[in-house]
Homo-oligomer: A and B are copies of this chain.
């Protein structure tokens, strides 16, 4: 378990965390990955697995078509939904977490199934969750051909007491998409001097909610209904804002003919997601737009360091493209024509150790953490 600032952080381990970390959990994960890889069929067979574990999605060769596949949940953001007793947007997060990952291997998302585990099968809650899933699917241009609802009062819990008692739930999904087998993108052609285009996030998205809750609600003693002037909305509304779905702009970039080197969904581990590429690439981030106000609030109330904030949160950049300098403006314009601000936030370096130097804050990311330079 990651311990930082004395606060145990519930987090997603994905299957991505091979690497250098030596905690017991990462060790267990690494052993798990060893096992799982033994299930992969020999190269050339039906279902050949095209990528090692560690990228945002994997790709399976099905009759010459690359089927990208990924799975992810919304983590403890469900607790915010439950506390607010508002369930009609969390499905958007679930779709976002999955389709944004699919995009990162160059895939066009096609369809997804959801897995909803509930403490009690409350019909209004089920319907509201579906409303969000469908809105997410609409934004992501995918279908939801089915799903599973498991009622498990002995396994699922949530916030206890009050009107929301019994409305605990967990929400995850799995999505598939298509990518031509010769156009799977994992950043292997990144060269030093390529540029990083960062597209704005919408606040915390679906990562770091455990830290956010502890900082704001426990240490900061704020309540979700508190209207916070700098946020322009209530704290609850802010924390529940649905994760941006980057499908429209990413597909437009993928199909635009620009020399696209890599795409990254900025989830847990923040800008360290830039290192999930198949090349000895480091990054110098020399410009970042001012982080959304919610991050300042979390940092202040939780007395968090910037290293910790950047480790846990997206800090305002939810999705990145790596392209040649010549294509930078084009990608920014595509993002903006899809309603999202985008910025040239830095460039790549040749770096076997894949460090991410965040210059405006004087911190550098290595492995799974950021350090003050």
Contacts and interface: CB of A to CB of B under 8 A. Distances in A.
Given A28-B122, A39-B144, A145-B49, A13 B151 contact: yes
A145 B147 CA distance: 20
Contacts of A149: 12-15, 29, 32
Interface residues of A, number: 89
A58 interface: yes
A11 interface: yes
A16 B154 CA distance: 23
Interface in A42-76: 46-47, 49, 51, 53, 57-60, 62-63, 65, 67, 69-73, 75-76
A15 B148 contact: yes
A346 to B, nearest CB: 28
A12 B67 contact: no
A10 B62 CA distance: 37
A288 interface: no
Interface of A: 1, 8, 10-15, 24-25, 27-29, 31-32, 35-36, 38-41, 46-47, 49, 51, 53, 57-60, 62-63, 65, 67, 69-73, 75-76, 78-79, 110-111, 113-115, 117, 120-127, 129-131, 133-134, 137-138, 142-158, 168-170, 172, 174, 176, 178, 210
10 contacts: A15-B147, A28-B127, A32-B149, A35-B127, A36-B133, A47-B111, A70-B146, A71-B174, A152-B170, A156-B156
